[in-house]
């Protein structure tokens, strides 16, 4: 990829518990923030069920489109953890017992005085050619195949694994962000904001209405990799809101 471009990424959340409404996902927000913080553009996220066909086809579609793909979920020891075998199928390689993963899991079992049973050994399975992703929380590693990073679903473990991946991710120019908070409904701001957006296409302007104390307000989020331009445009937006009587406040 061009060094001046930002690499692209996709997150695939594998989990019936998210789709059934039982669990509120928090992994996407963590990955989105952290990728943004490295200059990697998260273009898309998908939430899919624990179904082989869905996992294989989604992984294959996304790994061909995006520079990086991160999956969360489905790498534990139970029968519904099928991500590793699906990744092997997606890459058309065998699933094997990874010797380094087996050592890590055996060490962990010994330290914790628990049995190294068949279920726990399943967590040592990885596609042929995978490299491991460390798990300093609970031991059983994730893995990487080419541009696909296979992470746990438990948020604390997922975050630890992602931290361990960072060294292998190439970032791009950071997108900087400033927020002008206006005590005005969007309907008042929309026209002058559009004029500013037309004037400064180098700054992406997002408008997000909110309720507070029974009144509408709007967060105007300005994003650009050009810090000088961003400052200038932020001042213009601030002044625009002030002229409309919207008592602007700046958030970084």
Q: Which of 128, 190, 235, 250 binds its own copies (CB under 8 A)?
A: 190
Q: How far apart are CA 34 and CA 38, in angstroms?
A: 7
Q: Which of 6, 25, 40, 70 binds its own copies (CB under 8 A)?
A: 25
- Residue 94 Cβ, how far from its own copies at the closest point, in Å? 22
* 114 in contact with its own copies (CB under 8 A): yes
Alpha-carbon torsion, ordered 143, 74, 83, 51, to 10 deg: -160
Q: Do the Cβ atoms of 229 and 202 come closer than 8 Å?
A: yes
With b for 16 or more beta-carbon neighbours within 10 A and e for fewer, the 66-87 pattern comes to bbbbbbbbbbbeeeebbbbbbb
* 3 in contact with its own copies (CB under 8 A): no
Q: How far apart are CA 111 and CA 133, in angstroms?
A: 20
- Residue 152 Cβ, how far from its own copies at the closest point, in Å? 9
Closer of 92 and 113 to its own copies (Cβ): 113
Q: Do the Cβ atoms of 170 and 178 come closer than 8 Å?
A: no
Residues 69-98 that bind its own copies (CB under 8 A): 76-81
Q: What distances in angstroms separate CA 90 from CA 60, 61, 75, 143, 202, one per listed residue? A: 6, 10, 16, 14, 38
- Residue 193 Cβ, how far from its own copies at the closest point, in Å? 6
Q: How far apart are CA 154 and CA 200, in angstroms?
A: 42
Closer of 41 and 93 to its own copies (Cβ): 41
- Residue 2 Cβ, how far from its own copies at the closest point, in Å? 20
Q: Which of 38, 39, 46, 174 binds its own copies (CB under 8 A)?
A: 46
The piece of 87-95, 110-118, 166-174, 240-248 that touches its own copies (CB under 8 A) is 110-118
Q: Do the Cβ atoms of 61 and 12 come closer than 8 Å?
A: no
- Residue 18 Cβ, how far from its own copies at the closest point, in Å? 7
Closer of 100 and 156 to its own copies (Cβ): 156
Residues 47-66 that bind its own copies (CB under 8 A): 47-50, 54
* 16 in contact with its own copies (CB under 8 A): yes
Q: Which runs of consecutive H residues, i.e. helices, occur in the chain?
A: 16-19, 27-36, 52-65, 83-91, 99-112, 118-122, 155-165, 186-199, 227-243
Instruction: Please give the size of the binding site for its own copies, defined by CB under 8 A.
Output: 68
Q: How far apart are CA 222 and CA 230, in angstroms?
A: 7
**Residues binding its own copies (CB under 8 A):** 16-26, 28-36, 42-50, 54, 76-81, 114, 117-120, 122, 138, 154, 156, 175, 177, 185-191, 193-194, 197, 204-211, 216, 221, 223
């Amino acid at each position: 990829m061009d060094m001046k471009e930002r690499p692209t990424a996709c997150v695939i959340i594998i989990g019936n518990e998210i789709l059934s409404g039982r669990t509120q996902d928090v992994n996407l927000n963590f990955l989105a923030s952290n990728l943004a913080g490295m200059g990697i553009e998260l273009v898309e996220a998908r939430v899919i069920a624990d179904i082989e066909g869905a996992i294989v086809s989604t992984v294959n579609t996304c790994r061909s489109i995006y520079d990086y793909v991160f999956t969360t979920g489905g790498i534990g020891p139970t029968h519904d953890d099928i991500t590793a075998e699906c990744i092997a199928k997606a890459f058309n390689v065998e699933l094997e017992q990874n010797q380094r993963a087996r050592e890590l899991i055996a060490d962990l079992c010994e330290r914790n005085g628990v049995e190294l049973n068949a279920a726990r050994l399943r967590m040592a399975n990885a596609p042929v050619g995978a490299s491991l992703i460390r798990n300093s929380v609970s031991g059983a590693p994730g893995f990487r195949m080419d541009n696909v990073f296979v992470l746990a679903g438990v948020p604390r473990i997922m975050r630890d694994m992602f931290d361990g991946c960072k060294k292998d991710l190439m970032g791009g120019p950071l997108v900087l962000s400033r927020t002008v908070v206006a005590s005005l409904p969007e309907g008042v701001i929309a026209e002058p904001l559009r004029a500013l957006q037309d004037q400064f296409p180098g700054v992406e302007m997002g408008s997000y209405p909110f309720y507070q104390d029974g009144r509408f307000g709007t967060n105007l989020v300005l994003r650009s990799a050009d810090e000088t331009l961003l400052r200038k445009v932020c001042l213009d937006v601030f002044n625009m809101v002030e002229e409309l009587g919207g008592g602007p406040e700046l958030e970084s």
